[in-house]
C-alpha cells in the first residue's frame, strides 16, 4: 500500500494508473476508521482496478471548535485497516496541501443546503462540498464512494459532480450498523456506557415511524411522537426529525401524496452531552 502526502506525488501515482488503463475509485474519510468506512472500500474494490482512500480532517466543515479538537485520530490503526482491506494507496495531506496560504475559494451548492444538517451547522455543508471538490480534482477518480448515513452530503456531492462536470460516478453505500442498529460513526467512540445504551433509540424511532407511516398514520403525529420519545429516552436536544424526499430533500408533510410519503426517508439529528448523532432510514425498506 502506497502512502502519498503531496499533490505532486498523488498526481504521478494516478498518472501511472491511467497510463496502464486502470480505473480507480476513491473513498474519502476523516480517519478513525470503522466497518462503515470499510464497506465503502469493499464497494470500491468490487468496481475498480485500483482504490485510493483519503484521510483528512477538514477544519472547514467543523462549525464547532470543540468537536474538531476532540475528533478521534488513530492514523496507524487506520493504515493497518486500509491495508488489510486491499486499498492500493492512501492520500494523507497536511492542511497546507489542501488550503495553501491565501486559499479563498468555496464550492457551495445553492439547492438542498438550508435544511437538515445545513440548517443547524452554519458553513458545514460548504466546508464539505469544498473539500470534496478539491479531493475529487486531486484524485481524479472514475468512481467515488460515500455513505448513505450522511445522505444530504451524498446528494450534495452528486450535485457538485454533475454541475461542475467532474466526470465521476458518485455512489452511495447503505449504512453499516452495530448489532443493536446504532449507525457506526467515529463519534460513537466518545459515548460513555450510559449514552451508548441510549444511542440506538434513533434507529428504533426511525423504524417505528416507517412502520406507522406504512400503516397510514399522519406524518405530523408520528414525528411529534418520535421527538418526544427521543427526548424521554435521554437525548437532550433534537436538531431535526423530518421526512424528506430521497431525490431532492423536499419536505414531506401530510399534504404530500401517499407515494411521496412511502418513497421518502426519515432523517434525525440529536444531542447527548456534547455529542451529536445523526441517522436516516428509507420508509420502504
Known binding site: residues?
30-37, 61, 147-150, 153, 176, 184-187
Of 191, 269, 194, the closest CA to residue 226 belongs to 269
From 16-24, 180-188, 209-217, 265-273, give the range in contact with ligand AMP by CB under 6 A: 180-188
What gap in Å lies between CA 122 and CA 169, rounded to an integer? 28
Query: In the complex, what is the shortest distance from the CB of residue 36 to ligand AMP, in angstroms, rounded to a whole number?
Result: 2
Cell numbers for 204: 428504533
Q: What is the DSSP string of 205-244?
A: HHHHHHHHHHTT--HHHHHHHHHHHHHHHT-SEEEEEEEE
Q: Is 25 in the site for ligand AMP (CB under 6 A)?
A: no
Q: Is the CB of 73 or the CB of 84 nearer to ligand AMP?
A: 73
Q: Is the CB of 7 or the CB of 187 nearer to ligand AMP?
A: 187
CA triplet 182, 183, 185: central angle to 5 degrees? 115
* Catalytic residue selected from 24, 37, 124, 221: 37
Query: In the complex, what is the shortest distance from the CB of residue 185 to ligand AMP, in angstroms, rounded to a whole number?
Result: 5
Q: Is 29 in the site for ligand AMP (CB under 6 A)?
A: yes
Q: Is the CB of 29 or the CB of 133 nearer to ligand AMP?
A: 29
CA triplet 77, 91, 95: central angle to 5 degrees? 95
Query: How far is C-alpha 223 from the geometric centre of its chain's CA atoms?
Result: 23
Q: Which of 4, 14, 24, 37 binds ligand AMP (CB under 6 A)?
A: 37
Number of residues forming the site for ligand AMP (CB under 6 A): 17
Q: Is 269 in the site for ligand AMP (CB under 6 A)?
A: no
Alpha helix ranges (H) inside the chain: 7-19, 35-47, 65-69, 75-84, 95-98, 116-120, 124-139, 151-163, 193-198, 201-214, 219-233, 258-262
Eight-class DSSP state of 276: E
What gap in Å lies between CA 278 and CA 184, rounded to an integer? 10
Q: Is the CB of 10 or the CB of 117 nearer to ligand AMP?
A: 117
Q: Which of 14, 40, 132, 266 binds ligand AMP (CB under 6 A)?
A: 40
Q: Where in 138-177 is the site for ligand AMP (CB under 6 A)?
A: 146-147, 149-150, 173, 175-176
**Annotation marks residue 221 as catalytic:** no
Q: What is the DSSP string of 174-204?
A: PPPB-TT-PBP-GGGGG--HHHHHHTTHHHH
**CB 127, CB 58: distance < 8 Å:** yes
Query: In the complex, what is the shortest distance from the CB of residue 53 to ligand AMP, in angstroms, rounded to a whole number?
Result: 10
Parallel/antiparallel/unpaired status of strands 237-245 and 89-91? unpaired
Q: Which of 10, 13, 26, 39 binds ligand AMP (CB under 6 A)?
A: 39
x/- track of binding to ligand AMP for residues 181-210 (CB under 6 A):
--xxxx------------------------
Q: Is the CB of 186 or the CB of 264 nearer to ligand AMP?
A: 186
The residues binding ligand AMP (CB under 6 A) are 29-30, 36-37, 39-40, 146-147, 149-150, 173, 175-176, 183-186
> Which sequence positions are flagged as catalytic?
37
Amino acid at each position: 500500500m502506497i502512502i502519498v502526502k503531496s499533490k505532486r506525488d498523488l498526481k504521478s501515482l494516478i498518472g501511472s494508473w491511467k497510463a496502464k488503463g486502470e480505473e480507480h475509485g476513491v473513498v474519502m474519510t476523516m480517519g478513525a476508521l470503522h466497518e462503515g468506512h470499510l464497506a465503502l472500500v469493499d464497494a470500491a474494490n468490487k468496481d475498480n482496478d485500483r482504490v485510493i482512500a483519503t484521510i483528512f480532517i477538514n477544519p472547514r466543515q467543523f462549525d464547532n471548535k470543540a468537536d474538531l479538537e476532540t475528533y478521534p485520530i488513530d492514523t496507524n490503526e487506520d493504515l493497518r485497516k486500509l491495508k488489510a482491506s486491499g486499498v492500493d494507496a492512501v492520500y494523507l495531506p497536511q492542511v497546507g496541501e489542501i488550503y495553501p496560504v491565501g486559499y479563498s475559494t468555496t464550492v457551495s451548492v445553492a439547492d438542498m443546503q438550508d435544511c437538515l444538517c445545513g440548517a443547524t451547522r452554519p458553513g458545514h455543508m460548504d466546508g464539505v462540498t469544498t473539500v470534496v471538490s478539491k479531493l475529487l480534482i486531486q484524485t481524479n477518480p472514475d468512481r467515488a464512494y460515500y455513505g448513505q448515513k450522511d445522505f444530504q452530503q451524498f446528494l450534495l456531492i452528486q450535485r457538485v459532480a454533475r454541475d461542475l462536470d467532474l466526470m465521476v460516478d458518485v455512489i452511495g453505500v447503505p449504512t453499516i450498523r452495530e448489532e443493536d442498529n446504532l449507525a457506526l460513526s467515529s463519534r460513537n467512540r466518545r459515548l460513555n456506557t450510559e449514552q451508548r445504551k441510549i444511542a440506538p433509540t434513533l434507529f428504533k424511532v426511525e423504524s417505528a415511524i416507517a412502520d406507522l407511516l406504512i400503516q397510514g398514520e399522519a406524518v405530523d403525529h408520528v414525528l411529534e411522537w418520535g421527538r418526544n420519545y427521543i427526548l424521554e429516552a435521554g437525548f437532550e436536544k433534537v436538531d431535526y426529525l423530518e421526512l424528506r424526499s430521497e431525490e431532492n430533500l423536499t419536505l414531506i408533510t401530510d399534504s404530500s401524496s401517499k407515494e411521496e410519503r412511502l418513497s421518502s426517508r426519515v432523517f434525525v439529528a440529536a444531542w447527548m452531552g456534547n455529542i451529536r448523532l445523526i441517522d436516516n432510514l428509507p420508509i420502504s425498506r
